[in-house]
Amino acid sequence: MADFTFLTGLSYVFGWTYFTCWSLSFYPQSILNFSRKSTSGTTIDFPLINCLGFFAYTVSNIAFVYSPLIRAQYAARYKGLTPTVQFNDITFAFHGLLLCFVTVSQYLFPRAWGFAPSLGSRPSRFILGTFFGCVAGALIVILRVWASPVRNESTAAVTGWVWLDAIYAVSYVKLVVTLIKYTPQMYINYRNKSTVGWSILQILLDFGGGILSISQQAIDSYQQGDWSGITGNPVKFALGNVSMIYDLVFIVQHYVLYRHAVGPKVDGDGDSDGYSDSDPLLGESAREGDEERRIQ
Q: What average pLDDT score do residues 279-291 get?
A: 44
For the segment 257-267, what is each residue's pLDDT rounded down to a tens digit?
998 776 554 43
Residues with Cβ < 8 Å from 6, sequence gap 6 or more?
Answer: none
For the segment 17-50, what is each residue's pLDDT rounded down to a tens digit?
887 888 899 999 999 999 999 998 999 999 999 9
- The overall average pLDDT reported for the chain is 82
**Over pLDDT 70: what percentage of the chain?**
81
For the segment 206-217, what is each residue's pLDDT rounded down to a tens digit?
998 888 877 887
How many domains is the chain built from? 1
Of 86-95, 102-111, 141-150, 271-280, minimum mean pLDDT range: 271-280
For the segment 250-259, what is each residue's pLDDT rounded down to a tens digit?
999 999 999 8
Q: How confident is the model at residue 230 (pLDDT cuts 50, 70, 90)?
A: low
What pTM value is reported for the model?
0.78
Q: How confident is the model at residue 4 (pLDDT cuts 50, 70, 90)?
A: low
Q: Which domain holds residue 186?
A: 2-295
